[in-house]
């Protein structure tokens, strides 16, 4: 049970760190390339998965925090959800980086 607690806390902290690192270009002040960047999906239903992923992350994070990471199953669900969310965020960041070059 201790391993799931450590894994859940570590993965969430890695996600927060990567999120802060991705915000650095927005905080640097030179936003001329980002002002005219529009991301529109071809189909609005393609946003359903990322929305469910983010809502699942928030829900699992709140539940695990309330229960103080004592439920092993919820911890592993949070780890899997966060890893998939990190993969999705990295691909989105790479796509935005390619559009701004």
In tens, the pLDDT along 20-75 reads 998 887 788 777 777 777 878 889 899 999 999 999 999 999 999 999 999 999 99
State residue 67's pLDDT score: 96
Domain assignment present for 36? no
Its domain, for residue 65, covers: 2-29+45-100
State residue 101's pLDDT score: 78
Q: What is the DSSP string of the chain?
A: -HHHHHHHHHHHHHHHHHHHHHTHHHHSS--HHHHT-----SSGGGGHHHHHHHHHHHHHHHHHHHTTT--HHHHHHHHHHHHHHHHHHHHHHHHHHHHH-
State residue 26's pLDDT score: 78
Domain assignment present for 24? yes
Domain assignment present for 6? yes
Domain assignment present for 85? yes
Domain assignment present for 38? no
Q: What is the mean pLDDT of residues 74-100?
A: 93
Residues 6+ apart with CB under 8 A from 53: 81, 84, 85, 88
């Amino acid at each position: 049970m201790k391993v799931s607690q450590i894994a859940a806390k570590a993965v969430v902290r890695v996600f927060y760190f990567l999120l802060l690192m991705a915000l650095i270009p927005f905080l640097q002040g030179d936003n001329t390339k980002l002002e005219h960047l529009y991301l529109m999906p071809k189909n609005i239903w393609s946003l359903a998965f990322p929305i469910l992923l983010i809502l699942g992350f928030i829900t699992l994070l709140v539940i695990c925090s309330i229960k103080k990471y004592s439920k092993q199953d919820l911890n592993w669900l949070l780890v899997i959800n966060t890893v998939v969310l990190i993969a999705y965020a990295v691909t989105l960041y790479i796509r935005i980086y390619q559009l701004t070059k």
